[in-house]
Structure 1
Amino acid sequence: MAVTKRRTRRSKEEARALILEAAETLLRKGGPAAVTMRAVAGNLGITDAAVSHHFGTRQELLEALLHQGGRRLKDELNAALKEWRETKPSIQSLVDVIADVYADGAYSELALQLHLSGWRDRGSGLLNSVVDELHAMRTKAFAAGGRKRPSIQETRFAVGMMHQTLALDPLFGEDFRRSAGISSADKPSIKQRKEMWGAMLRAILEG
């Protein structure tokens, strides 16, 4: 007598998490173009309709994937800030964390593609905790030097500018560096780039 294998029933949250995990694997291997409903379904051994049931369209799946990347970035940044509080805060360590998240360019390319398609993320404040921590350091340093209290807007702008630079560097960094005369042969290593970005942010915040 044949035994019928019972299908594992998963909760909605578990199913969505598995789909996003498969989509992220495809994203990191082949960029946004590789993330299709059929490819995700094939990786999980389910139907395209099952993926559509949880995410609707491919566009909605890509948007959910980008939001997941944002949450991961925030988690990593919060972990770095926690370590800061337990040791000695460092601007350089924050630059390292953000640069590492965007290093392979996958989420940078996804965010750019969605932006060009007309999608806009209306959320804000992803790096608010970073701004608060850096501004507290900056305020303390200015007070110790007998200087006027620094502007929170300046701190926000500096952090936003650095986030923009680090997020887009995997896509356009080499092209922009070539415009300044840096050839492929003498391009700085990722370690050197991190150090220069850290130095720039320190100069802006401490200036």
Structure 2
Amino acid sequence: MARNPLTREEVLEAAASLVRRHGPAALTMRGLAADLGTAVTSIYWHVGNRESLLDALVERTVQEMGAVRPVGRTPAARILSVARILRRELRGRPHLIAMVHERGLTERMFLPAQQALVHEVHAAGLRGARAADAVRAIQFQIVGFLLVERNRERSPAQSPAEGDLWDPATAPDDPALARALSRPADPERLFLLSVRALTEALLARPGD
């Protein structure tokens, strides 16, 4: 049975999947055509040359990153939901995000998330420079945490590891701390802990 005609969106989705798995260098027109079971000329017909395809992937990534829909009953809860969405989306497509950055579109990509954060800090009663500082501090915390997290994941095996360096003798006045530091870190829990603490401090009114 003949397949339905190939669409531009199918080409872009296949290209994005290939980049997510193997990086931009693995994206060739011939390889993409093979993945889709079509002729190379069909790929060119839908997206132009490889550079045009990369531009389209970057634009698609920017648009997808704009789908930020906060949830929660309070501004602080909704800010935390924005942070979780951003971390998930950024972690899920590192190669595509790098392509966005290389083309100088990072600020535009983050604009919808910034706008969502602005809405929530306004809802919490912040205005002007204080609101702007809160939005940027939260954004920097999200991105900075992700960079540290990915650096730890990519770093060579450590010897001794963090867990080997902590035992009750290392912190005799706080053995519970030593035991906790000897266990592997939970990035998700630490991320939520840090963003929640920062958000609560930023949204607190003087005198609270």
Task: Report the TM-score, using the length of structure 1 for normalisation.
Answer: 0.66
Q: State yes or no: 1:152 paired with 2:128.
A: no
- Give the direction of change, closer, same or farther, for the CA distance of 1:149–1:49 in structure 2 (3 Å limit): closer
Instruction: State whether residues 98 and 166 of structure 1, in contact with CA within 8 Å, keep that contact through their aligned partners in structure 2.
Output: no
2:113 counterpart letter in structure 1: L
Tell me the amino acid that sits aligned with residue 60 of structure 2. Answer: Q
**Matched residues in 2 for 1:195 and 1:163: separation?**
10
| Count, aligned residues | 180
Return the letter of the residue paired with 2:105.
Answer: D
Deviations for 1:10-64, whole angstroms, at most 9, x for unmatched residues? 6xxxx21001111122123223333222222111122223222332332332232
State the match for 1:143 in structure 2. Answer: none
Q: Does 1:97 align with 2:81?
A: no
Give the drift of 1:100.
1.5
Which of these residues, 159, 182, 189, is aligned with residue 186 of structure 2?
A: 189
Unpaired runs of at least 5, structure 1: 141-147
- Matching residue of 2:171: none
Q: Matched residue of 1:139: which SS?
A: coil
2:121 is the alignment partner of 1:129: no
1:103 and 1:73 map into 2 onto residues whose CA distance is 12
The aligned runs of 1:38-53 (5 Å cut-off) are 38-53=30-45
When residues 170 and 113 of structure 1 are mapped into structure 2, their CA distance, relative to the original with a 3 A threshold, is: farther
Gaps of 5+ in 2: 165-182
Does residue 172 (structure 1) correspond to residue 154 (structure 2)? The answer is no
Amino acid at match of 2:195: G
Contact residue 108 and residue 167 of structure 1 kept, 8 A: no
Q: Deviations over 1:51-78 (max 9, x none)?
A: 2233233233223223322322222x12
In 2: Cα distance, 1:136 partner to 1:149 partner:
9
Task: Say whether the 8 Å CA contact 1:26–1:35 is kept in structure 2.
Answer: yes
Corresponding residue of 2:20: 28
- Compute the RMSD of aligned alpha carbons: 3.6
**2:144 counterpart letter in structure 1:** T
- Check conservation: 1:41, 1:47, Cα contact below 8 A: yes
Q: In structure 1, what residue type is equivalent to 2:186?
A: S
CA contact (8 A) 1:37 1:58 kept: yes
Change (3 A) 1:171 1:112: farther
Residue identity in the other structure for 1:133:
H
**CA–CA distance in structure 2, aligned partners of residues 31 and 170 of structure 1:** 19
Task: Provide runs of 4+ in structure 1 moved above 3 Å.
Answer: 5-10, 113-116, 166-171, 173-176, 181-187
User: Which is greater in Rg?
Assistant: 2
The offset of 1:94, in angstroms, is 2.1
